Chains A and B, each alone.
Chain A
Amino acid sequence: MSGKIGDNTGRASGLTKAASSAPTSAAGDPAVDRDESVGTRYINTTSGELFICTDATAGENIWKGQLGSTVQPVSYYGARGIWGGGSR
């Protein structure tokens, strides 16, 4: 035992640290079409808010921020335009 917690790349010490990857970071909120997996973390470096992907539906991701923000598909527009009624 060396007293040092290694990073799993050195000699076996009997103590290990779980491998982890840093969250993606960028200067804005995550986009709804990042299409990453549920649980993926993302940091908005402008606001400092950490987001986690909670729905990975392609093109319609939902990201929940730890400061209360939610990024989700806008629902008042969509792929289909629909006309009804009128006169001619």
Chain B
Amino acid sequence: MAAINEIEYITIASLGNGTDFGDLLSAKEIGGSHVSSGSRGVIGAGYPADNVLQYITCASLGDAIDFGDLNNNIANISAVSNGTRGIWIGGTEADDPMDYITIATTGNASDFGDINSQNLVGGATCMSDTRGLYMGGHYGPAGVDTILYITMASLGNATDFGNLAQGSIWSTPAGCSNGTRGIIGGGYTGSLVNTIEYVTIASLGNSTDFGNLNNSTRQKGACSDGTKGVFGGGEAPVNTAIDVIDYVNIASLGNASDFGDLTDARRLGACLSGNSS
């Protein structure tokens, strides 16, 4: 698999294909390591491991610009945001890592708290104004079914939220939310899955079946405009990147529908939501 640096975008309200946006600072796999304030998207680390944070202005096409550094060189990290603060969770090569940035202000990350789990990687994230959730993932080859959460305005440790309905889902499922309901789609449970599960972010508890994606796939990116939840890219079968984009209406349980295609077949791409103006 060859890493790519291309950035592309879709308009979520309008079904259709992706359009070129610009380029990252370097070609690399990113996965869930990205946050957004709506106006600014910050993308960090990825694979291979490094600490580089870079940002884009979501409404303005163009290349990424250096933002600052995470505290450690980390791979396979995920992130959540309340629009003001971006918090990076998990990842390899660090001891209980969580770092945060203020998205509006370029600079280096600061320590946030602990997740009490070293080398937890590959989980999906979703968020409300208050809570950021980290769902699934794995320690080495062992998948986990846990959902953890943090209160983003605090600097505290992660706390147990509940468990995934179908058990362990690892190898980078994708997550998004409408602020109230969080959804997690795809992943790997020993084989690729097409399942979508949901949680009510304000209420601790286990996830529940939502519906299915059009493909059994993992390593997709997910984004939302508050109404639609969009899942794009990924790999299906294993080691074959795809350009498929699916969507669901987050408020209504059901199966995904076809949205369009990415300009590039890609797996482990950063995928964030941002303003168009």
Contact = CB atoms under 8 A, between A and B. Distances in A.
Contacts, number: 156
B1 interface: yes
B232 A75 contact: no
Interface in B20-78: 21, 24, 27-30, 34-39, 41, 43, 46, 56, 58-59, 64
B269 A84 contact: yes
Contacts of B269: 83-86
B226 interface: yes
B1 A87 contact: yes
Given A77-B224, A77-B225, A78-B275, A85 B43 contact: yes
A29 to B, nearest CB: 12
B37 A75 contact: yes
B127 interface: yes
A81 to B, nearest CB: 4
Interface residues of B, number: 67
Interface residues of A, number: 16
Contacts of B127: 76
Given A76-B36, A82-B272, A88-B2, 11 more contacts: A75-B83, A77-B176, A78-B276, A79-B11, A81-B223, A82-B273, A84-B271, A85-B29, A85-B43, A86-B267, A87-B2
Interface of B: 1-13, 18, 21, 24, 27-30, 34-39, 41, 43, 46, 56, 58-59, 64, 81-84, 127, 129, 176-179, 221, 223-226, 230, 232-233, 241, 262, 264-277
30 contacts: A75-B38, A75-B39, A76-B37, A76-B81, A77-B38, A77-B177, A79-B11, A79-B13, A79-B274, A79-B275, A80-B10, A80-B11, A80-B275, A81-B10, A81-B230, A82-B7, A82-B58, A82-B223, A82-B271, A83-B7, A83-B269, A84-B7, A84-B21, A84-B64, A84-B270, A85-B24, A85-B27, A86-B4, A86-B268, A88-B267
